[in-house]
Structure 1
Amino acid sequence: MTDEQIRFDRTLAAWERIETWLLSHAPRSHAALPGPAERSVIEAAEEAMGPLPPELRALWGLHNGTDWDGPGRLRILKDYDVFPVADAVWCHESVLAVLLDANDMGTRPWIPACATETDEPHLWNFVDTTTGRLGWNVHAGAFTEPDESGDTFVGWLEGIAAELERGPAGSGQHPGVIDGWLTWNEGRHHFPG
């Protein structure tokens, strides 16, 4: 089995755990997930951005992002949503390319993955297509490169799935459910075990 297939399969398995939890504990969040992106849309994104990481191919094959048009955002992944394909392309061309040019870094095999606001990304992450490592954009255009973060995108997803399954531990953001919707906030929340 290739590294790409392993990354693809691990992504699907982690997402299945997340979705299973949503179905049981946050059914309104689960019901709001959009359908899969059309294959032609994913292929057009690859033409625009270059080869896609298998993690995003897996996720977009299930859902065209986790953003939605209702009040607020779904923010299933620790207050982040998976970019819909079109928003990822826009972020890649209009934000990431500009940051790379400003820092004289040239083209990188980095594809935007998730953001707190996918239609106007300020805080977002990206996947290195070659390695699967996760990079982070932060305020004022500064970012943590994938080689610096030490995290992989699929490892991040697996960690979120584990936190949902076991419940909150330690300080910081905790998952909770309010009126059937998943929430991630600091402090205390109703958490269904």
Structure 2
Amino acid sequence: MATDLVHASWNRIDAWLREHAPRTFATLRPPAGDEEIAAAQEELGVTFPPDLVASLLRHDGALEGPEAFRFDTGDRLLGVSGILADTRFLRGIDQGHDGETEDYWLHDYVKFASYDVTSDGLLLDCRTGRDSFGAIGRFFDETGTGFGQADSLGGHLAELADTLERGRDAGLVTFNGRLIWEGPPPARPEWSADDPLPSPDEQLPELDLSYGPTDLLHVSHLDGHEELGALIAVLPYERVAEAARKQVRRLAVDSGLNDYPEVAAALDAWERGTARPRPDRADPLALRLRAVLARADAVRDHTRRWAAEKIALGIWGSPYRSVCESAEIRSHFTSDWRADLHEDLGGLPLPPMPDDRFWGTLNNPAVDSSWYAAQYAQDQG
């Protein structure tokens, strides 16, 4: 039977998720009922391809949230209720005087996976009697529908199972029991560190030193790091400062900037607890970092420019901001940045994904969560 491929593929996907990403596996819902599936087809006035029916009889979609099961396109698997809601919404879009068009949305398209933050997602062609029946396309709200994803949902699930079993080589990451689709960082050209230190009079880009070690960190910097951001928010200042030093060192090594003696010496002193005064124009570290900015600008190496800026931020700025931004830039160099950050934070148990209540009740004088606090107080009042 054609649906055998669906069952076999879900067996492989479920087994992989149970072992490598149990929290993502837990978001897959139990099977939908036959009557519910039949009612959905009647309501939409279409016939679901057998592969979609077989898939719904295995998993009625996935729960929402950052841990949700998603395809490698970032689209969350929808259950029957989601299929109905999203398909009805797309049918209601006004396509202008010409009406429905095949390259935007047709009545017999059915959306089965959603990007969630937009109306983008994966769809099935449910036009019976056509060679395209059961083919998978992807809808973009700005450009419409394009096909070529797969000839069937069974084939698409089989490709997904193959991808999962290839692991990191296929561009996926697991962290804290979650599956995260994140392509491997691109290969970067080597960065030699044998250029001489420029003179103080040389025309070089200036470092942004408008920040200070006691600056408040806006909660948005933490929220983007999900459970790691929540951990940073509740740790004592000393632990965050230690993690910031480790993250900056990792970033310097990743980017090749640690090969400069001025950078390595400054980080060595920083790790020993030696506070570095604000630099003047002759400061060797500042000169070196400014020279890196100039060289990176010349070859359009934005990532190494960012690395130089974050090294300066680490040494002269707030450890809370430094640890967040160093980790963010490290994501351009390594897929292990989350695990490394967790290790540098002491490997402590990770809190749940932070929500508005978490940020609204946060009591950390180094973090500006005032907006969430006001909203929480209003909700409680």
**TM-score range for the pair, normalised by the shorter chain length:** 0.7 to 0.9
Counterpart CA distance in 2 for 1:186 and 1:126 is 23
Match of 1:136 among 122, 135, 138: 138
Aligned residue for 2:80?
85
Change (3 A) 1:178 1:150: closer
Counterpart of 1:138 in structure 2: which amino acid?
F
Aligned residue for 1:162?
162
Aligned residue for 2:51?
55
1:1-193, aligned counterparts within 5 Å? Answer: 5-6=1-2, 8-49=3-44, 50-66=46-62, 68-69=63-64, 71-78=65-72, 79-96=74-91, 98=93, 104-105=99-100, 107-117=106-116, 121-129=118-126, 130=128, 131-144=133-146, 146=147, 149=148, 151-152=150-151, 153-169=153-169, 174-187=171-184, 188-189=334-335
Counterpart CA distance in 2 for 1:101 and 1:35 is 40
Secondary structure in 2 matching 1:140:
coil
Whether the 8 Å contact between 1:132 and 1:154 is mirrored in structure 2 is no
How far is 1:114 from its partner? 0.9
Which has the larger strand fraction? 1
Counterpart of 1:90 in structure 2: which amino acid?
A
Counterpart CA distance in 2 for 1:189 and 1:99 is 42
Whether the 8 Å contact between 2:17 and 2:25 is mirrored in structure 1 is yes
Moved more, 106-115 or 81-90: 106-115
Whether the 8 Å contact between 1:28 and 1:180 is mirrored in structure 2 is yes
How far is 1:15 from its partner? 1.6
The total of aligned residue pairs comes to: 175
Change (3 A) 1:75 1:116: farther
How far is 1:104 from its partner? 2.5
Counterpart CA distance in 1 for 2:183 and 2:144 is 24
Change (3 A) 1:22 1:61: same
Q: Any unmatched runs of 5+ in structure 2?
A: 185-333, 337-381
Moved more, 29-38 or 14-23: 29-38
Could you tell me the percent identity over the aligned residues?
23
Change (3 A) 1:186 1:109: same
How far is 1:45 from its partner? 0.6
Whether the 8 Å contact between 2:24 and 2:67 is mirrored in structure 1 is no
Secondary structure in 2 matching 1:76:
coil
How far is 1:88 from its partner? 0.8
Whether the 8 Å contact between 2:67 and 2:179 is mirrored in structure 1 is no
Secondary structure in 1 matching 2:93:
helix
Secondary structure in 2 matching 1:98:
coil
Change (3 A) 1:184 1:111: same
How far is 1:189 from its partner? 3.3
Counterpart of 1:142 in structure 2: which amino acid?
G
Change (3 A) 1:105 1:32: closer
Secondary structure in 2 matching 1:111:
strand
* Higher normalized contact order (CA 8 Å, seq sep 6+, divided by chain length): 1
Whether the 8 Å contact between 1:125 and 1:134 is mirrored in structure 2 is yes
Counterpart of 1:72 in structure 2: which amino acid?
P
Counterpart CA distance in 1 for 2:166 and 2:77 is 23
Secondary structure in 1 matching 2:134:
coil
TM-score by length of 2: 0.42
Moved more, 157-166 or 92-101: 92-101
Change (3 A) 1:103 1:185: farther
Secondary structure in 1 matching 2:47:
coil
TM-score by length of 1: 0.78
Whether the 8 Å contact between 1:91 and 1:121 is mirrored in structure 2 is no
Counterpart CA distance in 2 for 1:9 and 1:61 is 13
Whether the 8 Å contact between 1:37 and 1:85 is mirrored in structure 2 is yes
Counterpart CA distance in 2 for 1:61 and 1:100 is 34
Change (3 A) 1:29 1:92: same
| Cα-to-partner distance string for 1:34-78 (whole Å, 9 max, x where unaligned) | 111122221211111211111211111111102x14x42513311
Counterpart CA distance in 1 for 2:174 and 2:67 is 14
